Amino acid sequence: MKKSGYKHTPLGWIPEDWEVKKIKDIAKISSGTTPLRSVAEYHTNGTIYWVKTTDLNNSVVLDTEEKVTELALKETSLRVYPKGTVLVAMYGGFNQIGRTGLLGIDATINQALSAITVNSEKTDVKFLLDWLNANVGLWKSFAGSSRKDPNITSNDVGDFPIVDITLPEQRRIAAILSIWDAAISKEKQFIEALQIRHRGLMQQLLSGRKRLKGFKGKWKDVSYGSLLKEVKRPVLWNDNERYQLVSVRRRSGGIFSREALFGHQIKVKDLRTVNTGDFLFSKMQIVHGASALVTEKFAGNKISGSYIAVVSKDPKKLNIQFLNWYSQLPYFYHQTYISSFGVHIEKMTFDFEAFLTLNMALPSLEEQTAISTILSTSEKEIKTHDRRLAYLQQQKKGLMQILLTGKVRVKT
C-alpha cells in the first residue's frame, strides 16, 4: 500500500525526496595493518594511537589500548586517519562485525577495521555513525566466511546501503540524537563513579579498615565450619512435574533462572529445593566466583547436585547477607581457590570440607547488619541508574527508528 509522500525501497518506506545509495558512493573506504609484533621497536613506548576492534564503542573514540611508534609509521603501511573518520569492525563474528567508532583523535588502525572518509560538505559523520549503529543487523546479510566466525570485507562496507539526504537534514537529525548521546554518556560516567565508590566501600567496610560510627569491638577470626551448615531438600521425583532450575553466574554475578524441564527430560534425577536465605556454592565454578544468595524471587526453585546450599548455623552469630557481601572479596575468591583441586582451573572441583576449616573475619552481628544495609543501599542506587540508562538507550533507539527512516521529518 503506497504511503503519501513516501516510496518503497530495499530499506523500506522512505520519503520521496530521499535516495538510497551505497557507502562507497559517498565515501572512501580503506583499512589498516598490524606492525610486526616481533619488532619491539614498533610497539614499545609508542605515542601514536592504534585502534583495534576492542577500542570501538559505537561512539567517539578518544583513547586506545595500544599505541605504536613513529618507526612503525615510517616502515609499515600504517597511515594516520584524522578526527572525524568513521570506523567499522570487519572480523570476529556477529558479536563484533559492524561495531563502530568515530575518531575524536588522529589515529592509525589495524587490518580488522575499515576506515570511512567522507566529504564533510556532503555528509555529516555523526549522521553516518548513527545510521550504521541503527542498522547493525543488516551486516548479517553481508557476512560470510569458511571460518567459524563470519566476517565482512571492505567491499561489503562499501556496498552497505545508506539514505542520501540533504546535509542540513543530516545535521539536524544528528544534533537531536546527540542530545540523547550526551545524556547516556553522562549516565554511564555517573554509574562508573558509583561502582568505584561501591567497590571502595566493600574493601574498606568488609575488611574492618573503615569502621562505622558506634562500632569499636575487635573483629574475630571464625571458621566457616562453625558458622555454616549444609542443607539438602531432595525433590520427591515426578517425571510429569515441571521443575524450574536455577544457576549461579561467575564473578559474583548472582543467581538466575535457567530453564524449566519436566522430570522425564532430566537425566540425572538429583535436584534439591532452595529457599530464601540459602547461600549457594557451585562445586565446578566456585574458583571463578560462582556463589550467590538465594533471594525471595527464586525460593522454591531447584538446583542440581553440582551445587552446595548452606545456611547460617546461628543467625544471631552470622548474618547471611554479610556472608554474601564478604564472598565478593578477592580474599574469599582466594580461599575458595585453595580449597579446590584439579590440574586445570576450568576443571577444578570444590572441596567443601577443606573450605570449612578456613576462617573469615567477623564483627558483631549488629555491625554485620549495618555494613550489609549500607552496601545494599549502594547497590540499589547503582541499579536505579542502570535502569535509567536502559530507559535513555531505549528512547534513543525509538528516535533513531523514526528519524532515520523519515517517519518523522525534522525542520532544518
CATH of residue 332: 3.90.220.20
Residue 148: pLDDT band with limits 50, 70, 90: low
Lookup: cell for 287: 574458583
Q: Is the pLDDT of residue 402 over 60?
A: yes
Query: Do 159 and 73 share a structural domain?
Result: yes
How many domains, in total, are found in the chain? 3
Query: For 125-177, what is the HEC assignment?
Result: HHHHHHHHHHCHHHHHHCCCCCCCCCCCCHHHHHHCEEEECCHHHHHHHHHHH
Query: In the β-sheet with 108-109, what is the strand arrangement from edge to edge?
Result: 66-68, 48-51, 108-109
101 and 48 in a single domain? The answer is yes
Residue 5 maps to a domain:
no
Whether residue 198 is found in the same domain as residue 295: no
What's 181's domain CATH number?
Answer: 1.10.287.1120
Other CB atoms within 10 A of residue 99 CB = 22
73 or 347, greater pLDDT: 73
Quickly state the pLDDT bin for 3 (edges 50, 70, 90): confident
Above 70 in pLDDT, residue 1? no
Are 199 and 158 in the same domain? no
Question: Residues 152-181: what's their mean pLDDT?
Answer: 96
Closest CA to 5 of 20, 18, 16: 16
In a domain, 10, yes or no: no
- Check whether residue 277 and residue 322 sit in a common domain: yes
Please, which pLDDT band fits residue 146 given cuts at 50, 70 and 90? very low
Q: How many residues does the chain have?
A: 412
Question: Given this model, what pLDDT does residue 404 score?
Answer: 97
pLDDT value at position 74? 95
Which domain covers residue 401, as residue numbers?
A: 165-215+365-412
- Please determine, for residue 107, whether its predicted confidence score (pLDDT) is greater than 60: yes
What mean pLDDT comes out for the span 299-312?
A: 97
Domain boundary (149, 164, 179) is at: 164
User: Is residue 412 in a domain?
Assistant: yes
Where residue 108 falls among pLDDT bands split at 50, 70, 90? Answer: very high
Give the contacts of 12 (CB within 8 A, at least 6 positions apart): 405
Q: Which pTM value belongs to this model?
A: 0.86
Domain identity same for 128 and 67: yes
Q: Judging by beta carbons within 10 Å of its beta carbon (0-12, 13-18, 19+), is residue 55 exposed, middle or buried?
A: buried
